[in-house]
Every structure is written in structure tokens, then in C-alpha cells.
């Protein structure tokens, strides 16, 4: 997505889709193969453990504090466990996934890994895993934010059978994640996307910006193509508040109300 920004409760950042299998059939989009279909990046260069290429060098150990990956992983996993038990939004997402037949097993579906320092997390639709970057997502607030955002992508993949090669499917799930969890009043005001006046339009602008940047992070397309994909699906995807049920504007009461209302949709 974008560089991490400070909001009241979350510190958000660049959450990148990881695409491993270049031979997945594009079943839903009807698109003909394009330059982006031959693109071999898909964010994997930002997640070296996914490639199996991470090997700390002597320089990394001496000057960059590497060599302590196992300790980092243990600390990350403890903070993930805390968020799974304490965060209202994370608990909503876990209940919604379970209700839809995609129950999350933390040992299988959530992984703490070493990542590039420019990212804090991602979702791997091939392995159906949320990745928490143990070396950059070091606070409980950051991990809570990454979990909620990426679990929305997992929920969309579970309930909507997304085709991640379809740029409009990708744009839609990024719109939903930004809409439901990111563009709170304070954080978006700090980024210049919102104001106390005409908040609705400014909030929409914030969501469009975040979604466009996210598409650009994982697809080899131009800014104009990413923006067009977002605009094409925006109205429908912006109106879809499932499963949180409300836009989180950065107030604690929004978290508590969303969690209190979850039972109405069978999410407990």
C-alpha cells in the first residue's frame, strides 16, 4: 500500500499481495494474456523467506542486527496471539471467516517472517496465509492493523472467490480494506485526504488513493491503469461493509460498536 502512517490506533503500511504460481488460469476475468501476466515480481522480492533466499551475511549480522530471526519470530508470534484474543476487529474477522467455512488456524494461516524493510505485512492467496513482517511490524498496534487489513483480503478470497490476476478484483478488495480499516478521520487528515468539511467525499478520496497505490505495488501497470480499475469498481466495493459492518473512523467506540453488532450477522 503506502508508507506507514500514524492513526489513533493503527500504524499502517505497505501490505503487498504475494503471487507465486505464474501458471494460474485466469478463470473469471476473461482477460487475454498481457505484459502483467508475465511479470515475475508479485511482491515476492519483498518477502525473501517466501522465496527461500534469505541468508544473513556477516555484514547483516555485524551491522544490521541480523542473526536473531528466531527471537524476532517468537516475539512476533506472542503479539499475534495477543491481537487474536484482544482486538475487536480481528475477532470480528475470525468469526466471519469461521461462519463462512474458512476458519483460521493461526499455526497454518498466519506466519511471522523476515521481510524487506519497506513492508509490514501481506497476504499470500496461493498459500492462503497472512504474513506479518517480524522485523518491521514490532508493536501490537501495527500487528493489529496488518492482521485486520489482510484478513479482509482472506475473507474476500473465501467468500467471493477472487481472481487475483483480475486487476478489478484486486482493486475491489483493496478498496474494501482501506474503507473498513484504514481511512479514519485523523489518519486521513494527517495525510491530506480528509478534513472536517465534506468528510464523505474526502474519505472516498482517501480510499481511492490507498487502493490505487496498493494495485500499483503488486501489478506491473501504469498509474492510469490502476486508477481506472479502482474507479470502475469503486461504488459497488465502497458500499460493501461486510463483515465489519461500519467504517472505522479512528474512535475506540467504532471498534466496540462493530464488535457488539457482529452477532447480528452471526459472527461471534
Contact criterion met (CB below 8 Å) for 218 and 229: no
Is 150 one of the annotated active-site residues of the chain? yes
Cell of 126: 496461493
Q: How far is CA 184 from the centre of its chain?
A: 16
Cell match 501504469: residue?
Answer: 222
Alpha-carbon Rg for the chain, nearest whole angstrom, is: 18
Instruction: Dig out the grid coordinates for 3 from the structure.
Output: 508508507
Helix (H) or strand (E) holding 112, with range, is strand 110-113
69: preceding bond cis by omega (within 30 degrees)? no
Contacts of 114 (CB under 8 A, 6+ apart): 48, 49, 54, 69, 72, 133, 134, 135
Q: Of the listed 150, 168, 174, 261, which one is catalytic?
A: 150
Is residue 158 within 8 Å of residue 50, measured between CB atoms? no
Among residues 148, 227, 213, the alpha carbon closest in space to that of 2 is found at 213
DSSP element (H, E) containing 123: strand 121-124
As annotated, the active-site residues are 150
Amino acid at each position: 500500500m503506502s508508507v506507514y502512517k500514524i492513526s489513533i490506533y493503527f500504524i499502517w503500511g505497505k501490505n503487498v499481495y504475494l503471487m507465486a504460481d505464474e501458471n494460474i488460469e485466469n478463470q473469471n476475468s476473461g482477460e487475454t494474456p498481457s505484459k502483467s501476466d508475465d511479470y515475475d515480481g508479485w511482491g515476492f522480492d519483498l518477502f525473501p523467506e517466501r522465496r527461500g533466499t534469505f541468508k544473513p551475511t556477516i555484514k547483516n549480522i555485524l551491522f544490521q542486527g541480523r542473526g536473531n530471526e528466531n527471537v524476532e519470530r517468537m516475539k512476533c508470534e506472542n503479539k499475534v496471539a495477543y491481537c487474536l484474543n484482544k482486538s475487536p476487529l480481528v475477532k470480528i474477522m475470525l468469526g466471519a471467516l469461521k461462519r463462512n467455512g474458512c476458519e483460521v488456524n493461526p499455526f497454518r494461516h498466519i506466519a511471522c517472517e523476515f521481510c524487506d524493510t519497506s513492508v509490514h505485512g501481506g497476504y499470500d492467496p496461493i498459500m492462503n496465509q497472512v504474513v506479518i513482517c517480524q522485523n518491521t511490524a514490532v508493536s501490537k498496534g501495527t500487528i493489529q492493523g496488518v492482521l485486520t487489513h489482510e484478513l479482509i483480503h482472506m475473507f474476500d478470497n473465501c467468500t467471493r472467490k477472487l481472481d487475483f490476476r483480475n486487476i478489478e478484483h484486486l482493486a475491489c478488495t483493496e478498496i474494501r480494506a482501506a474503507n473498513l480499516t484504514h481511512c479514519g478521520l485523523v489518519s486521513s487528515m494527517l495525510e491530506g485526504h480528509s478534513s472536517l468539511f465534506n468528510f464523505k467525499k474526502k474519505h472516498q478520496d482517501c480510499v481511492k488513493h490507498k487502493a490505487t497505490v496498493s494495485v500499483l505495488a503488486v501489478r506491473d501497470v501504469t498509474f492510469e491503469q490502476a486508477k481506472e480499475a479502482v474507479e470502475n469498481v469503486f461504488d459497488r466495493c465502497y458500499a460493501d461493509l461486510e463483515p465489519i459492518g461500519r467504517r472505522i473512523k479512528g474512535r475506540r467506540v467504532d471498534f466496540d460498536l462493530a464488535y457488539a453488532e457482529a452477532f447480528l450477522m452471526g459472527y461471534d
